[in-house]
Amino acid sequence: MVLVRPADAAQGPAPAARPTSPWVDTFFNLGAADGAIHIEDMAQVAALAMQDAGKLLSERLAAKGISASPPVDFSTNQAGKIEVAGHPQQAAIQTVLAQDPELEQTMRDALCLQEQAVSWQKAEQFQQAYGAVWEARGALAAAQMLGRFQTLGEPRTTLRFGPDGLQARFNGMSGERYVAGVMRSLGVEPGLNLNAFA
C-alpha cells in the first residue's frame, strides 16, 4: 500500500518531460511577441524540426554504417509508423527505426510540423489569390476558383533523406514547389499574375 500525503495528491502526477529539441523553444514561444502565430513562425519551427530530425537520423544511421546514398524515402502507414520505401538497405534502416522510438517520433513530429506549415502557406496564398480574382474578375470567377480549390485534396507527404539532409516532400515536390503548383493549377502564377486564369 502506498500512502500519499494530501499536498502531494493535490499536485497530481509529475508532468511529462518536455522535449529538448532546438525547435521546441521556438514552438512554445510562437505568438509571444504580439499574441499571434504567424505563418513565417510556423515555417521556421518546421524547418528547425526537420533539421533536428535529419541530424538525429544521420547520427543513428551512421552508427550502424548505413549510407544515405542513394537517398532514403520514407512514408507513414495508416498506423502512423514510418516505413522505408524501396532502398538497398531498407531492412537495416527499418530495424533502426523499430529499435529507436525517439528517432521515429522525432521524424514524425518534423513531418507533422512541415505539413502544418505548408498547409498554412497554401491557405494564405489561396486567400490572396481569391481576393485578387474577386477584384479583377468578380464574384462568380472567385466562386469557380474556390470550387476548383476544394476539389484538390491533400497531398501525399513523404520524407527524403540524402546528402542535403531530411526533407519533406508533397506529391514528390518541396513544399514551395507544391504550393506554387497548386496556385498554377488554379490559373494563378507567382505575383498573383492572373493572365492564365480561365
Q: Tell me the domain boundaries of the chain.
A: 39-192
pLDDT(172) > 80: yes
Q: What mean pLDDT is predicted for residues 61-78?
A: 90
Q: Report yes or no: 50 and 114 within 8 Å, Cβ to Cβ.
A: yes
Helix and strand numbers (H, E) in the chain are: 7, 4
Please report the pLDDT score of residue 178 as a whole number: 96
118 phi/psi in degrees, rounded to 5: -70, -35
Q: Pull the grid cell for residue 138.
A: 468578380
Query: Which of 36-40, 92-96, 169-173 has the lowest average pLDDT?
Result: 36-40
Please report the pLDDT score of residue 39 as a whole number: 83
Please report the pLDDT score of residue 60 as a whole number: 94
Percent of the chain predicted with pLDDT > 70: 81
Tens-digit pLDDT profile for residues 134-148: 998 899 999 999 999
Q: What mean pLDDT is predicted for residues 112-125?
A: 93
Distance CA 54, CA 76 (A): 16
Please report the pLDDT score of residue 102 as a whole number: 92
Q: Name the pTM for this structure.
A: 0.80
Distance CA 144, CA 72 (A): 40
Q: What mean pLDDT is predicted for residues 90-114?
A: 93
Please report the pLDDT score of residue 17 as a whole number: 46
Give 13's DSSP letter.
Answer: S
